[in-house]
Amino acid sequence: MTAVTEKRRTGAKKATGAAIFGTFIEYYDFSVYGYVAATLSLVFFPSDDPTVALLNTFLVFGSAFLVRPLGAWYFGRLGDRRGRRVSLVASITLMGAAATLTGLLPGYTQIGILAPALLVLLRMLQGFSAGGEIGGAASYIREWAPPHRRPLYISFIPSVANLGKGLAAGAAALIAALIPADIMVDWGWRLPFLAALPLGILCLYMRLKVEDSPEFTALAQEDATTKKPFLDLVREYRPQLFKVMGISTVQNLGTYVGTVFVAVYFSEVLGFSKSQASTIVLVAVLLAACLIPFAGVFGNRVGAKRTLVVAYIAYVVITLPSFALMNTGSFGLAVLGLALGMIPYALCQAGTYGSVSEFYPTRIRHTGVAVGHSVGAVIGGGAGPYLATWLIDATGNTYMPAFILIVAGLLGLVLVTAGVRPSRDGTSHLYR
């Protein structure tokens, strides 16, 4: 193994900081919609049936996931041809602009059907941007980090993503606590979206100040980059791509059912106030942000694959007790229940991000991670909240989200134990 120089360590820390701060902003911008979904349903989808209005709001939420694979293809191609840094700069610029414009959008009472149409368009631009962020950040950090510490360095991606979601939940909780409900519907919901502008400018500055990854730079100097990364991916690494899709589907179900949908679940299903619901989720995601780096250290010791196995077993074992505590109606026990659910969630996040970049060589890594993760996001993240809402309404069973997570854990366990093997070329990527 090549010795890691002090210059490489310093560069890795600087590059990781720029990458994860952008991920923090991206996930704040992307998640704030989910935390104010109940209010957005009143602004953009007025209806006599609140469940219908909420389902329509989640359909718009899900629309962002439909274009994520297209964004993954575009930004992956950009990152594999022109560099990870170029892709990361472009993705944060688009995300910040779309979030800011959402905060300026007139409601249904002002412009009628054009309001939800424009909301869909802006949400899809956010999804397009998010499609490239994870592939770029994971590839960039993986190619900078010391090999023996990659799981830890990459674990900061989901950790700060949770901090971004925590900031979104915190902003929603603060606004709900300070602003009367009628003012919240009138203009209060705009505030967390408009915060994207200064945050995006700061992140753009940071990403413009860093260099591209050493592995990509060496590849480019040798003129060994590929002109058609997506075609190379589907021709040469199709089995790996499907495995990344499956792993990412489970991870996104855990993310969007377990940390985004639950904000609405607490307020609309379990009867907590919007302020209480946002506070419960805020505590949980901040706890997860702290737990994920420890899961990354665990990954340094046992490897990303074993981390995933432990995570999936934990989902099967812990999820029902977690939801039982949430369903007691007690605020304190609800906090404890969701916090308990963050244990498998943290392990799954660290294991997923630590593994998905290890299925591909440098020349197609950005595309492979971005496309695989984005398809998983469409299935797990786009469908998860809608499916949970529909199943609860259809059955009256408030444990339906728990059953979704348990089934996801079982499917992930089968996939990883039966399908993930060591690569024959361990110097380039670890899994096949």
Residue 47 inside a domain? The answer is yes
Backbone φ, ψ for residue 327 (5° rounding): -85, 5
Cα separation, 305 vs 217, in Å, equals 28
Q: Is residue 131 part of a domain?
A: yes
Give the integer Cα–Cα distance in Å for 310 and 218: 36
Q: Is residue 54 a part of any domain in this protein?
A: yes
202: in domain: yes
The candidate with the shortest Cα–Cα distance to 102, out of 49, 61, 131, is 61
Residue 427 placed within a domain = no
Q: Is residue 424 part of a domain?
A: no
Helix (H, G, I), strand (E, B) or coil at 379: helix
Q: Residue 248 and residue 395: Cα distance in Å, rounded?
A: 28
Q: What is the CA radius of gyration of the chain?
A: 20
Contact 288, 346 (CB under 8 A): yes
In a domain, 332, yes or no: yes
pLDDT of the residue at 386: 83
Cα separation, 115 vs 68, whole angstroms: 22
Cα–Cα distance, 347 to 344 (Å, whole number): 5
For the CA atoms of 54, 58, 59, 64, the dihedral, rounded to the nearest 10 degrees, stands at: 150
Residue 164 within any structural domain of the chain: yes
| CATH code, domain carrying 357 | 1.20.1250.20
Give one DSSP letter per residue of 410-431, joined into a string: HHHHHHHHHH--B-S-TTT-SB
What pLDDT does residue 176 have? 79
Q: Which of 149, 173, 75 is nearest to 354 (CA)?
A: 149
Strands (E), 104-152: none
Within its chain, how far is the Cα of 371 from the centroid? 14
Distance from C-alpha of 21 to C-alpha of 39, rounded to nearest angstrom? 28
* pLDDT tens across the length of the chain (432 residues): 456 788 788 888 999 999 999 889 888 887 788 778 778 888 888 877 777 777 777 777 777 878 889 999 999 999 999 999 999 999 999 999 999 999 999 998 899 889 888 988 998 998 899 888 888 999 999 999 988 889 999 999 999 988 887 888 788 778 878 888 889 889 999 998 998 899 889 999 999 989 999 999 999 999 999 999 999 999 999 999 999 999 999 999 999 899 878 988 999 899 998 778 878 988 898 899 999 999 999 999 999 999 999 999 999 999 999 999 999 999 999 999 999 999 999 999 999 999 999 999 999 999 999 999 999 988 887 788 889 989 999 999 999 999 999 999 999 999 999 999 998 876 678 999
CA–CA separation, 259 vs 240, rounded Å? 28
Query: Percent helix, strand, coil in the chain (nearest 5)?
Result: 85, 0, 15
Structure tokens at 252: 């996104």
Contact 363, 229 (CB under 8 A): yes
| Residue-range definition of the domain harbouring residue 66 | 6-419
Q: How many structural domains compose the chain? A: 1
Distance CA 163, CA 20 (A): 10
pLDDT for the residue 271: 92
288 Cβ neighbours under 8 A, 6+ residues apart = 159, 162, 259, 342, 345, 346, 349
* Token output for 343: 């244990």
Structure confidence at residue 1 (pLDDT): 46
* 91 burial type by CB count under 10 A (0-12 exposed, 13-18 middle, 19+ buried): buried
pLDDT in tens, 317-330: 999 999 999 999 99
Taking the alpha carbons at both ends of the chain, their separation in whole angstroms is 21
Q: Which among 143, 101, 137, 93 has a CA at the least distance from the CA of 122?
A: 101
Give CA–CA dist 59/120, Å, rounded.
Answer: 9
Q: Which amino acid is at 148?
A: H
**Per-residue pLDDT at 274:** 79
- 431 forms beta bridges with 422
Query: Does residue 99 contact residue 196 with C-beta atoms inside 8 Å?
Result: yes
